[in-house]
Amino acid sequence: MSGFRRQLPSMTSLVVFEAAARQLSFTRAAAELGITQAAVSRQVQALEQNLGFQLFRRLHRSIELTERGQILSKSMSEALGTITRTVQSLTAETSPGELVISASVAFSHFWLLPKISDFRRLHPEIRLKVISQDANVNLLREDVDIAIRYGEGNWGDGRAIMLFNDDIFPVCSPDYLAANGSPDCVADLIRHSLIVSDSPDPSWIGWDRWLNAFGHGAAPRNVALSCSFYTDAIHAAMRGEGIALGWNRLVHDLLQQNRLVRVSAESLRTREAYFVVLRNGHPIKPQVEAFLRWIRAERAQPGIAAPETAAALSEA
């Protein structure tokens, strides 16, 4: 049998293709790989020329995989996942105390990192690595022990353990409230300066869904500031720029510190929840077991309870 080098295209182009196929974006693949978007495009084009067929359809502002591209993408993800797991098993003894956790930027910033010192005091022997990014990592391919995700809990790359739901209500700074007064109702709330944030996750609840739950989805509103990240929206609210939606589990400490105040009795209970997700097909390491014990104890800690007058809803 002839060597793999004669049967396969460039491994570099195959790895670049796998990233572009998984991200469905040359730009995001370039950021992940640490190269330019033009370099990704050149590698994909070279691979397509070598294979003799297209792997992507180039649309106006996006790309999508062709049928052959989908087949190759699936094969590459499985192959790289197998290699990753093999390398991890062979090198496990060199880093037995490391625990790699992935979470969204907002969850890491507002919930995990403020509490993680307690875990480190309990387990000083465990080296922690926290990966903060809003796109879900692929647990079958990435070197991640635990992912903390928000959603319905049905991810194909891991086993999900529910942590908690959340309650969402408007928040602002004490200075903004003193200068502008407290809204009397939702109809009054939408006349205030609202801060919105984008999210690639369709299950994430923004102002549109929150207002719609209280019958004001179509009402005009005063959007004073739009942010790309939820963390920026909350920091803008703390600086007095307007009113943002506070996710109770994320802004709990800020409310306790009076850096934010709640401005409405209305509260929306999420249908989705936060989950710990463990990799499929892997034994649970002692570090993972220790983290699970700790986070289960943390989830039992009460959050800011909604007042009895709140219209707390569960989305259908």
pLDDT of residue 84: 78
Count CB neighbours of 314 within 10 A. Answer: 10
Which tokens is 204 given?
Answer: 């994430």
Straight-line distance from the first to the last Cα atom of the chain, in angstroms, rounded to the nearest whole number:
58
- Half-sphere exposure at residue 231, Cβ-oriented, CA atoms within 13 angstroms: 11
pLDDT of residue 314: 34
Q: What is the number of helices (H) and of strands (E) in the chain?
A: 13, 14
- Is the per-residue pLDDT at 90 higher than 70? no
Regarding pTM above 0.75, the answer is no
- Half-sphere exposure at residue 150, Cβ-oriented, CA atoms within 13 angstroms: 24
pLDDT class for 92, splitting at 50, 70, 90? low
| Chain mean pLDDT for the chain | 87
CATH 1.10.10.10 fits 4-91, yes or no: yes
- Over the range 174-211, which residues count as b (16 or more CB within 10 Å of their CB) and which as e? eebbeebeebeebeebbebbbbbbebeeeebbebebbb
- Is the per-residue pLDDT at 306 higher than 50? no
Q: Nearest Cα to 62, choosing from 30, 23, 36, 17?
A: 23
Lowest-pLDDT choice from 38-47, 89-98, 215-224: 89-98
Beta pairing partners, 223:
194
Q: What is the pLDDT of residues 200-238, one digit of tens each?
A: 677 788 998 999 999 887 777 889 999 989 999 999 999
User: Average pLDDT in the 47-55 region?
Assistant: 94
Q: Where in the chain is the domain with CATH 1.10.10.10?
A: 4-91
CA distances 86 to 63, 71, 197, 256, 266, Å, are 32, 23, 40, 46, 51
Q: What is the pLDDT of residues 256-292, one digit of tens each?
A: 999 999 998 999 999 999 999 998 877 788 999 999 9
Q: Are 246 and 118 in contact (CB under 8 A)?
A: no
User: Average pLDDT in the 295-301 region?
Assistant: 84
Higher pLDDT, 95 or 299: 299
Q: Where in the chain is the domain with CATH 3.40.190.290?
A: 96-316
pLDDT class for 126, splitting at 50, 70, 90? very high
Q: What is the pLDDT of residues 94-109, one digit of tens each?
A: 455 789 999 999 999 9
Q: What is the pLDDT of residues 137-192, one digit of tens each?
A: 888 878 899 999 999 999 988 999 999 999 999 999 999 999 999 898 898 898 99
User: Average pLDDT in the 5-13 region?
Assistant: 81
Q: Say which CATH architecture domain 96-316 belongs to.
A: 3-Layer(aba) Sandwich (3.40)
Length of the chain: 316
Q: Which residue has the tokens 């591209």?
A: 69
Q: Which residue has the tokens 């869904």?
A: 209
